[in-house]
C-alpha cells in the first residue's frame, strides 16, 4: 500500500514539473518572437558580418543520369549561425536552455544550390529550428536536389565521374553573410589568380578533405564514392568591394562495373577468347572460314551484324547524345561492324564474279588475321586504358 502511494506521489510531481516546463517554454517562445522581425538580418550593426556555418550531409545518391547529365541526391543541409535577438537567461525560464521553433518564424539564410538542374531551389520540408540560450541557431532541413554534372564517357563503363554541388547565398554578399564550412578547423587555405573578363580575379580557396557527412549514407548499387572534398571559394572582382562566397562540394564517383561487364562488355569483346568458343562474337571469326560461294556465310554475317547493331543501340541509349567523345567500346563495336559488312560485300561480289573465288579465300584469311588483331587491340584499349582498372582506392561508403 505504501509503495502505491509513493508511486502516485512521484507521478503527480512529474506531471507538475512537465506542465511547469511547458508553461516556461511557451512563455519563452512568446517573449522571443513578440517583436521579432524575420525579414531583417540579425546583426547589432548593419555593417557587421553574419557568419553562417554550412555542411552537406549525404543520405543517398539516387541517380546519375548520363544522358541528361544530372545527378540526383537526397541530402540534409546543416546550417548554424548566431542570432543575437534569440538569446535568453535559462534561469528566467525554469532552466529551459533549448527551444524548437518553426523555421518560418525566424530569419533564415537563403543558401541555395547554384547548379540546380530543375529550377527547384527550395528544401523539401521546412523543419523546425533548434534555438540555444546563447543565440545559436541550428537548422538541418532535408532536400532532394538535381544538380548538373558533366559526364565523361570516354572509358565507359570503366569510368570515373566528378560531380559538384555549389551552394551560396542568393541575396547577400560576403560582407553581409560569410558562408564557411562547419569543419573550418580542418580546412587548408590556398590563393589562386583567375583571369576574368575585366581583369585578374583573386580567389581564395579553403579545402576540407572530408567535406560531406557520410555517417548516414545509404550505399549506391551503381557507384562508389571515393572522395568528397568541400571547397570554400571567395572571389573578388574589380567592380565590387564585397567578395562572392560559395562552398562547392565535389563528389568523386567510380562506377561499379559488374553489371555492364556481364551484360555488355563480355558479349561484345569475348571474341578474343574465340578459341574457347565464348559468346556470339566467336561466330564472327568462323565467318572467315566459310566458303564464299555459299549462302550460309551471308546469313551468318547479317545475323552477327544485327547483333552488333543491337549492342551499339544499347550503348547509344546510355551515353549522352551531346558527348564530345565516342566511348572506346563504341569505337570497337563500329570497327567490328565495318569488318563484318566488308565480309558481306566480298561474299556478294564473289557470288557474282566466279573468277574471284580464289581471291576471296585469300581475303578471308587476311580479314581473319585483321579481325583477330582488331579484337585483341580493342579489348586492350577498352580495359587497359581505363584508369579505374588500376584504381585501388577504398570507397568511403
- Contact assessment for residue 321 and residue 289, using Cβ atoms and an 8 Å cutoff: no
Q: Which long-range contacts (CB under 8 A, 24 or more apart) does 257-262 make?
A: 257/157, 257/158, 257/388, 259/222, 260/156, 260/157, 261/157
Strands (E) across the chain are located at 50-65, 70-87, 98-102, 111-113, 128-132, 134-139, 142-148, 160-169, 177-181, 188-196, 199-208, 212-213, 223-227, 230-236, 244-255
The residue with greater pLDDT, 16 or 205, is 205
Q: Which residue's entry shows cell 577504398?
A: 394
Domains of the chain, earliest start first: 38-256 (2.70.170.10), 259-390 (1.20.58)
Whole-model pTM: value is 0.79
pLDDT digits (tens, 9 = 90+) for 210-254: 999 999 999 999 999 999 999 999 887 777 788 889 999 999 999
CB atoms inside a 10 Å sphere around CB 341: 14
What is the predicted pLDDT for the residue at 386? 72
* pLDDT tens-digit readout, 111-136: 999 999 987 777 778 889 999 999 99
Task: Find the mean pLDDT for residues 68-82.
Answer: 94
**Can you tell me the mean pLDDT for 92-105?**
91
Amino acid at each position: 500500500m505504501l509503495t502505491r502511494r509513493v508511486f502516485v506521489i512521484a507521478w503527480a510531481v512529474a506531471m507538475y514539473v512537465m506542465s511547469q516546463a511547458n508553461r516556461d517554454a511557451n512563455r519563452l517562445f512568446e517573449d522571443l518572437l513578440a517583436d521579432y522581425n524575420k525579414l531583417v538580418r540579425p546583426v547589432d550593426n548593419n555593417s557587421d558580418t553574419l557568419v553562417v556555418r554550412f555542411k552537406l550531409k549525404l543520405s543517398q545518391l539516387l541517380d546519375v543520369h548520363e544522358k541528361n547529365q544530372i545527378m540526383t541526391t537526397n541530402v540534409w543541409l546543416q546550417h548554424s549561425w548566431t542570432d543575437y535577438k534569440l538569446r535568453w537567461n535559462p534561469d528566467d525560464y525554469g532552466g529551459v536552455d533549448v527551444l524548437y521553433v518553426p523555421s518560418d518564424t525566424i530569419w533564415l539564410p537563403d543558401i541555395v544550390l547554384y547548379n540546380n538542374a530543375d529550377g527547384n531551389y527550395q528544401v523539401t520540408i521546412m523543419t523546425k529550428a533548434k534555438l540555444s540560450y546563447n543565440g545559436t541557431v541550428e537548422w538541418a532541413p532535408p532536400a532532394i536536389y538535381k544538380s548538373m554534372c558533366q559526364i565523361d564517357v570516354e572509358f565507359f563503363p570503366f569510368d570515373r565521374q566528378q560531380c559538384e554541388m555549389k551552394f551560396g547565398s542568393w541575396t547577400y554578399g560576403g560582407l553581409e553573410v560569410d558562408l564557411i564550412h562547419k569543419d573550418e578547423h580542418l580546412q587548408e587555405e590556398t590563393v589562386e589568380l583567375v583571369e576574368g573578363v575585366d581583369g585578374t580575379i583573386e580567389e581564395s580557396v579553403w579545402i576540407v578533405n572530408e567535406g560531406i557527412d557520410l555517417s548516414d549514407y545509404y550505399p549506391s548499387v551503381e557507384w562508389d564514392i571515393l572522395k568528397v572534398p568541400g571547397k570554400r571559394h571567395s572571389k573578388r572582382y574589380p567592380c565590387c568591394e564585397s567578395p562572392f562566397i560559395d562552398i562547392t562540394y565535389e563528389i568523386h564517383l567510380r562506377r561499379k562495373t559488374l553489371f555492364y561487364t556481364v551484360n555488355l562488355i563480355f558479349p561484345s569483346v569475348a571474341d578474343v577468347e574465340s578459341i574457347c568458343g565464348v559468346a556470339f562474337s566467336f561466330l564472327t571469326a568462323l565467318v572467315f572460314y566459310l566458303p564464299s560461294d555459299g549462302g550460309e556465310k551471308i546469313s551468318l554475317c547479317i545475323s552477327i551484324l544485327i547483333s552488333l547493331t543491337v549492342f551499339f543501340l544499347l550503348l547509344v541509349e546510355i551515353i549522352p547524345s551531346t558527348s564530345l567523345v565516342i566511348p572506346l567500346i563504341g569505337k570497337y563495336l563500329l570497327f567490328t561492324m565495318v569488318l563484318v559488312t566488308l565480309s558481306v560485300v566480298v561474299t556478294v561480289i564473289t557470288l557474282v564474279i566466279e573468277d574471284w573465288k580464289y581471291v576471296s579465300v585469300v581475303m578471308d584469311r587476311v580479314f581473319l588475321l585483321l579481325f583477330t588483331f582488331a579484337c585483341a587491340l580493342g579489348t586492350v584499349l577498352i580495359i587497359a586504358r581505363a584508369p579505374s582498372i588500376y584504381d585501388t582506392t577504398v570507397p568511403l561508403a
